[in-house]
Amino acid sequence: MQFLLSGGQACILYGGSEFSRVTDIVVLLSDENLDALRQALRELDAEQVFLPPLDPEPLRRGHACHFRCRHPEASGFRLDVMSVLRGCDPFPVLWERRVPVELPAVGEVPVLSLRDLVQSKKTQRDRDWGHLRRLVEVDYLTRRQEAEREDVVWWLEEMRTPQYLIELATAHPGAAAQIASRPWLAEAVDQGQEAVGQRLQEEERRIRAEDRAYWQPLRQELEQMRLRR
Protein backbone atom coordinates (compact mmCIF):
# COMPACT_ATOMS: atom_id res chain seq x y z
CA MET A 1 0.00 0.00 0.00
CA GLN A 2 1.29 3.47 -0.89
CA PHE A 3 0.82 5.86 2.03
CA LEU A 4 2.69 8.57 3.88
CA LEU A 5 2.67 9.05 7.63
CA SER A 6 1.72 12.63 8.46
CA GLY A 7 0.11 14.58 11.29
CA GLY A 8 1.09 14.22 14.93
CA GLN A 9 2.93 10.92 14.56
CA ALA A 10 5.18 12.42 11.88
CA CYS A 11 5.75 15.45 14.13
CA ILE A 12 6.99 13.10 16.86
CA LEU A 13 9.56 11.59 14.50
CA TYR A 14 10.84 15.06 13.55
CA GLY A 15 10.92 16.29 17.16
CA GLY A 16 7.95 18.63 16.89
CA SER A 17 5.58 16.81 19.25
CA GLU A 18 5.70 14.40 22.18
CA PHE A 19 2.52 12.34 21.92
CA SER A 20 -0.44 11.64 19.66
CA ARG A 21 -3.14 8.97 19.73
CA VAL A 22 -4.22 9.82 16.18
CA THR A 23 -2.39 8.35 13.20
CA ASP A 24 -2.79 10.47 10.07
CA ILE A 25 -1.90 9.03 6.68
CA VAL A 26 -2.02 10.39 3.15
CA VAL A 27 -2.78 7.75 0.54
CA LEU A 28 -2.43 7.34 -3.19
CA LEU A 29 -5.89 7.55 -4.69
CA SER A 30 -6.22 4.41 -6.81
CA ASP A 31 -8.60 1.43 -6.68
CA GLU A 32 -5.78 -0.98 -5.92
CA ASN A 33 -4.42 1.19 -3.13
CA LEU A 34 -7.83 1.74 -1.55
CA ASP A 35 -8.48 -2.02 -1.64
CA ALA A 36 -5.20 -2.57 0.22
CA LEU A 37 -6.21 0.10 2.74
CA ARG A 38 -9.59 -1.53 3.31
CA GLN A 39 -7.84 -4.84 3.97
CA ALA A 40 -5.55 -3.15 6.51
CA LEU A 41 -8.60 -1.60 8.20
CA ARG A 42 -10.20 -5.02 8.50
CA GLU A 43 -7.05 -6.37 10.11
CA LEU A 44 -7.13 -3.47 12.58
CA ASP A 45 -10.82 -4.20 13.27
CA ALA A 46 -11.41 -0.53 12.51
CA GLU A 47 -14.83 1.08 12.58
CA GLN A 48 -15.65 4.32 10.83
CA VAL A 49 -16.56 7.04 13.31
CA PHE A 50 -17.42 9.98 11.04
CA LEU A 51 -18.58 10.66 7.52
CA PRO A 52 -17.66 10.56 4.66
CA PRO A 53 -17.29 6.95 3.51
CA LEU A 54 -13.94 5.67 2.29
CA ASP A 55 -14.60 6.33 -1.39
CA PRO A 56 -12.48 7.98 -4.11
CA GLU A 57 -14.68 11.03 -4.70
CA PRO A 58 -14.75 12.42 -1.12
CA LEU A 59 -11.01 11.84 -0.79
CA ARG A 60 -10.36 13.53 -4.12
CA ARG A 61 -12.32 16.57 -2.97
CA GLY A 62 -10.17 16.90 0.16
CA HIS A 63 -12.26 15.18 2.81
CA ALA A 64 -10.75 13.01 5.55
CA CYS A 65 -12.07 9.57 6.52
CA HIS A 66 -11.88 8.70 10.22
CA PHE A 67 -11.61 5.29 11.87
CA ARG A 68 -11.26 3.93 15.39
CA CYS A 69 -9.12 0.82 15.80
CA ARG A 70 -10.46 -2.01 17.98
CA HIS A 71 -7.64 -4.53 17.55
CA PRO A 72 -6.12 -5.25 21.01
CA GLU A 73 -2.69 -3.98 19.93
CA ALA A 74 -4.13 -0.72 18.60
CA SER A 75 -7.14 -0.25 20.86
CA GLY A 76 -8.10 3.37 21.37
CA PHE A 77 -6.07 4.73 18.48
CA ARG A 78 -7.72 6.63 15.66
CA LEU A 79 -6.70 6.52 12.03
CA ASP A 80 -7.44 9.51 9.79
CA VAL A 81 -7.08 9.04 6.05
CA MET A 82 -6.67 11.75 3.41
CA SER A 83 -5.53 11.93 -0.18
CA VAL A 84 -5.27 15.73 -0.56
CA LEU A 85 -3.58 18.16 1.83
CA ARG A 86 -4.48 21.83 1.51
CA GLY A 87 -1.61 23.87 0.14
CA CYS A 88 0.53 20.80 -0.57
CA ASP A 89 1.56 19.11 -3.79
CA PRO A 90 -0.30 16.07 -5.18
CA PHE A 91 0.48 12.68 -3.66
CA PRO A 92 2.95 11.53 -6.38
CA VAL A 93 5.13 14.57 -5.69
CA LEU A 94 4.89 14.10 -1.93
CA TRP A 95 5.81 10.45 -2.43
CA GLU A 96 8.99 11.39 -4.32
CA ARG A 97 10.05 13.57 -1.38
CA ARG A 98 9.15 11.00 1.30
CA VAL A 99 11.57 10.17 4.11
CA PRO A 100 11.87 6.46 5.00
CA VAL A 101 12.11 5.97 8.77
CA GLU A 102 13.04 2.65 10.40
CA LEU A 103 10.88 2.00 13.46
CA PRO A 104 11.64 -0.73 16.02
CA ALA A 105 9.35 -3.77 15.69
CA VAL A 106 7.64 -2.10 12.74
CA GLY A 107 10.16 -1.72 9.94
CA GLU A 108 10.51 1.03 7.38
CA VAL A 109 7.71 3.60 7.30
CA PRO A 110 7.39 6.27 4.57
CA VAL A 111 6.98 9.67 6.22
CA LEU A 112 5.95 13.01 4.79
CA SER A 113 9.05 15.15 4.27
CA LEU A 114 9.69 17.82 6.89
CA ARG A 115 8.95 20.69 4.53
CA ASP A 116 5.72 19.12 3.32
CA LEU A 117 4.74 18.38 6.92
CA VAL A 118 5.29 22.02 7.90
CA GLN A 119 3.15 23.14 4.96
CA SER A 120 0.38 20.73 5.97
CA LYS A 121 0.33 22.20 9.47
CA LYS A 122 -0.81 25.64 8.27
CA THR A 123 -4.37 25.20 9.47
CA GLN A 124 -6.89 26.94 11.71
CA ARG A 125 -6.09 24.66 14.66
CA ASP A 126 -4.08 26.04 17.59
CA ARG A 127 -2.07 22.85 18.18
CA ASP A 128 -0.84 22.78 14.59
CA TRP A 129 0.85 26.15 14.98
CA GLY A 130 2.71 24.89 18.02
CA HIS A 131 3.86 21.85 16.06
CA LEU A 132 4.85 23.99 13.08
CA ARG A 133 6.93 26.35 15.17
CA ARG A 134 8.71 23.52 16.93
CA LEU A 135 9.40 21.60 13.72
CA VAL A 136 11.21 24.55 12.13
CA GLU A 137 13.04 25.38 15.36
CA VAL A 138 14.37 21.83 15.75
CA ASP A 139 15.55 21.69 12.15
CA TYR A 140 17.31 25.05 12.47
CA LEU A 141 18.96 24.32 15.81
CA THR A 142 20.23 20.89 14.77
CA ARG A 143 21.44 21.77 11.25
CA ARG A 144 22.41 25.44 11.23
CA GLN A 145 26.13 24.69 11.39
CA GLU A 146 25.98 22.71 8.14
CA ALA A 147 23.27 24.68 6.38
CA GLU A 148 23.23 25.35 2.66
CA ARG A 149 21.59 28.39 1.07
CA GLU A 150 18.43 26.41 0.33
CA ASP A 151 18.09 25.61 4.02
CA VAL A 152 18.59 29.25 5.02
CA VAL A 153 15.93 30.42 2.56
CA TRP A 154 13.44 27.86 3.88
CA TRP A 155 14.09 28.84 7.50
CA LEU A 156 13.63 32.51 6.58
CA GLU A 157 10.32 31.63 4.92
CA GLU A 158 8.97 29.37 7.67
CA MET A 159 10.58 30.31 11.01
CA ARG A 160 7.97 31.42 13.54
CA THR A 161 10.25 32.22 16.48
CA PRO A 162 11.14 35.97 16.47
CA GLN A 163 14.52 35.46 18.15
CA TYR A 164 15.72 32.91 15.60
CA LEU A 165 14.19 34.75 12.64
CA ILE A 166 16.10 37.90 13.60
CA GLU A 167 19.25 35.83 14.06
CA LEU A 168 18.84 34.36 10.58
CA ALA A 169 18.01 37.64 8.85
CA THR A 170 20.96 39.37 10.53
CA ALA A 171 23.37 36.62 9.47
CA HIS A 172 21.95 36.39 5.92
CA PRO A 173 20.67 39.88 4.95
CA GLY A 174 20.91 39.20 1.22
CA ALA A 175 18.74 36.10 1.43
CA ALA A 176 16.32 37.81 3.82
CA ALA A 177 15.78 40.67 1.38
CA GLN A 178 14.66 38.20 -1.30
CA ILE A 179 11.95 36.40 0.70
CA ALA A 180 8.91 37.33 -1.38
CA SER A 181 6.45 35.79 1.09
CA ARG A 182 7.77 38.08 3.84
CA PRO A 183 8.50 41.49 2.29
CA TRP A 184 8.28 42.99 5.78
CA LEU A 185 11.22 40.96 7.07
CA ALA A 186 14.08 43.48 6.89
CA GLU A 187 12.01 46.34 8.30
CA ALA A 188 10.58 44.27 11.17
CA VAL A 189 13.97 42.81 12.05
CA ASP A 190 15.37 46.32 12.44
CA GLN A 191 12.51 47.11 14.84
CA GLY A 192 13.12 44.11 17.10
CA GLN A 193 11.38 41.01 18.40
CA GLU A 194 8.07 42.66 19.19
CA ALA A 195 7.68 43.94 15.63
CA VAL A 196 8.64 40.56 14.18
CA GLY A 197 6.17 38.84 16.52
CA GLN A 198 3.36 41.14 15.37
CA ARG A 199 4.09 40.42 11.72
CA LEU A 200 4.10 36.69 12.40
CA GLN A 201 0.74 36.96 14.17
CA GLU A 202 -0.72 38.81 11.18
CA GLU A 203 0.64 36.12 8.88
CA GLU A 204 -0.87 33.38 11.05
CA ARG A 205 -4.28 35.07 11.14
CA ARG A 206 -4.31 35.30 7.35
CA ILE A 207 -3.40 31.64 6.90
CA ARG A 208 -5.97 30.52 9.47
CA ALA A 209 -8.63 32.47 7.57
CA GLU A 210 -7.58 30.82 4.31
CA ASP A 211 -7.90 27.40 5.92
CA ARG A 212 -11.37 28.20 7.29
CA ALA A 213 -12.48 29.33 3.82
CA TYR A 214 -11.10 26.10 2.29
CA TRP A 215 -12.98 23.86 4.73
CA GLN A 216 -16.28 25.73 4.76
CA PRO A 217 -17.73 24.13 1.59
CA LEU A 218 -16.40 20.73 2.64
CA ARG A 219 -18.16 21.05 6.00
CA GLN A 220 -21.35 21.95 4.16
CA GLU A 221 -20.96 18.80 2.08
CA LEU A 222 -20.57 16.73 5.26
CA GLU A 223 -23.75 18.25 6.66
CA GLN A 224 -25.60 17.33 3.48
CA MET A 225 -24.28 13.75 3.79
CA ARG A 226 -25.57 13.58 7.37
CA LEU A 227 -28.99 14.85 6.34
CA ARG A 228 -29.22 12.30 3.52
CA ARG A 229 -28.39 9.50 5.96
- Do 130 and 95 lie in one domain? The reply is no
Mark which of 56, 79, 114 sits at the end of a domain. 114
pLDDT of residue 105: 85
- Do 143 and 202 lie in one domain? The reply is yes
Provide the domain count of the chain: 2
pLDDT by residue for the chain (229 residues), tens only, comes to 999 999 999 999 999 887 777 899 999 999 999 999 999 999 999 999 988 999 999 999 999 999 999 999 888 889 999 999 999 999 999 999 999 999 998 899 999 999 999 999 999 999 999 999 999 999 999 999 999 999 999 999 999 999 999 999 999 999 999 999 999 999 999 999 999 999 999 999 999 999 999 999 999 999 998 888 7
Tell me, yes or no, whether 143 lies in a domain. Answer: yes
Tell me, yes or no, whether 32 lies in a domain. Answer: yes
Q: In what order do the strands lie in the sheet with 22-27?
A: 46-48, 65-69, 78-82, 22-27, 3-6, 107-111, 99-103
- Do 20 and 104 lie in one domain? The reply is yes
pLDDT of residue 163: 97
Q: What is the value of pTM for the model shown?
A: 0.94
pLDDT of residue 70: 93
Which residues constitute the domain of residue 43? 3-114
Tell me, yes or no, whether 222 lies in a domain. Answer: no
- Do 20 and 95 lie in one domain? The reply is yes
118 DSSP assignment: H
- Do 20 and 99 lie in one domain? The reply is yes
